[in-house]
Amino acid sequence: MNRYLEKVLNDVKAKNEHETEYIQAVEEVLTTVEPVVEKHNEYEQLALLERMVEPERLITFRVPYVNDSGQTVVHRGYRVQFSSLIGPYKGGLRFHPSVNQSIMKFLGFEQIFKNALTGLPIGGGKGGSDFDPKGKSDGEIMRFCQSFMTELQRHIGQDIDVPAGDIGVGEREIGYLFGQYKRIKNAYEGGVLTGKGLSYGGSLARKEATGYGLMYFMREMLNANGQSLEGKTAVISGSGNVAIYACQKAKELGMKVIAMSDSQGCIYDENGIDLELIKQIKEVERGRISEYKKVHENAQYLASKDIWNIKADIALPCATQNEITLEDAQKLVANGVIAIGEGANMPCTKEATEYFLANNILVAPAKASNAGGVATSAIEMSQNSMRYYLTFEEVDKKLENIMINIFQSCKTASEEYGLGNNYVAGANIAAFRKLAKAMKAQGIV
């Protein structure tokens, strides 16, 4: 490895030794941008890489709330304002018990590159809490969100930092967060949060955008490699926002989705997943995917991880980080998978990605393939600024064009460096070059 790159990577490991996800995300980017770094000796003197891997600001705060039993509970809140190089910090909020500083930093770091790929003026950030919304009443969710925003509002603003949803944060949570922000600021600042409800400033097609965008990217990637999505089978992990709308678009594009999952189990339905039922269980009832079997008795209910044992042409991990390990990758390849589409952030371990690429499996890297969500958030921000709304078709068309352009950027970059269809490297190189250029232009900051 290039000496400068190696030095920076070793420093990151030494300074953040317990932050495994963060180190993993940094290592993936640094190793793939090596051919660019080799060409730019000036980066070292400018400490360009050192500045890129250090968040501009990392905020942690106390979030107390009173639960329905009258008990006061304290959680930890985070906002990582990673980079404002090309626009206000932008990225989701995750409420999940696993949230910690490492997960926040990996997500914030990924977000910088993803947002650069969209071609829109958005920097990178991420936030959240170790609060678990599962099983909580609406009142508890509201009180928690209000407490979270009471602190977060000091740090955000439509031109400063614009949060949105992620795991455990959907339209309900964004509504409570927005209500509290507006109440404290006494100003209707629509563009301060995205993923808002349609009745108060949200954008049509934002809910669908990440899943739809993933499938537009997959279509482009397969077509560029002499394949097509039509008639292919797919397994989709997760059954949340990204998974549901990936499933919907996959079906529209002529695919058959045969399995979906949640953190407790997986439904395998050879006849094709009944998406309306999944929406009813997950979006309306906030239930468990196991309930699917009550309606479709012939479907099989398996362990979550078993989803990667099912034979399918395409695997779409849309749940969480590191959900596909080397062992899972080996099973998928043995079963004849042809492509992987990362809907979740960093769903494949480093070893799994390397195994796929070594076996000529097409990999759509998360930073590129799930960028449709944040891109449509930026379209929501611009609608809020214009005080004017676009139609569903208009937003969807913009999203589709953005995804086509992102795929082209990945392809051009990978080909330019002789890396064939390694779009993992292509995505990192395309985003890195843009960020490095902006960094040089803005001086030492």
Alpha-carbon distance of 413 to 428, in angstroms, equals 9
Distances in whole angstroms, Cα of residue 45 to Cα of each of 4, 49, 50, 180, 376:
10, 10, 10, 45, 37
Length of the chain: 445
Under the binding rule (CB under 6 A), the answer on residue 81 touching ligand NDP is no
Using Cβ positions, the residue closest to ligand NDP within the complex turns out to be 240
Give CA angle at 211 (206, 215), nearest 5°. 125
| E-state strands within 45-165 | 57-66, 72-83, 89-95, 124-129, 161-164
Which string of x and - marks every residue 55-94 that binds ligand 2IT (by CB under 6 A)? -----------------------------------xxx--
26 lies in the binding site for ligand 2IT (CB under 6 A): no
Q: Is 126 a catalytic residue?
A: yes
Nearer residue to ligand NDP within complex by CB, 263 or 280: 263
In the list ligand 2IT, ligand NDP, none, the entry touching 238 (Cβ below 5 to 8 angstroms by class) is ligand NDP
Binding mask 359-388 for ligand NDP (x = CB under 6 A): -----------x--x---------------
Contact, 131 vs 64, CB < 8 A?
A: no
Sheet holding 124-129, edge to edge: 57-66, 72-83, 124-129, 89-95, 161-164
Q: Which of residues 83-142 bind ligand NDP (CB under 6 A)?
A: 96, 98
Active-site annotation holder among 90, 105, 114, 126:
126
Question: Least Å distance between CB 270 and ligand NDP?
Answer: 21
- Picked from ligand NDP, ligand 2IT, none, the partner binding residue 90 (CB below 5 to 8 A depending on kind) is ligand 2IT
CB 331 within 8 A of CB 392: no
Element (H, E) at 257: strand 256-261
Q: In the chain, what's the furthest Cα-to-Cα distance?
A: 64
Among 163, 343, 365, 426, binds ligand NDP (CB under 6 A): 343
Q: How far, in Å, CA of 337 to CA of 253, rounded?
A: 18
Q: What are the catalytic residues?
A: 126
Which residues of the shown chain bind ligand 2IT in the complex (CB under 6 A)?
Answer: 90-92, 114, 164, 166, 194, 345, 373-374, 377
Which residues of the shown chain bind ligand NDP in the complex (CB under 6 A)?
Answer: 96, 98, 165-168, 170, 210, 238-243, 262-264, 304, 318-320, 343-345, 370, 373
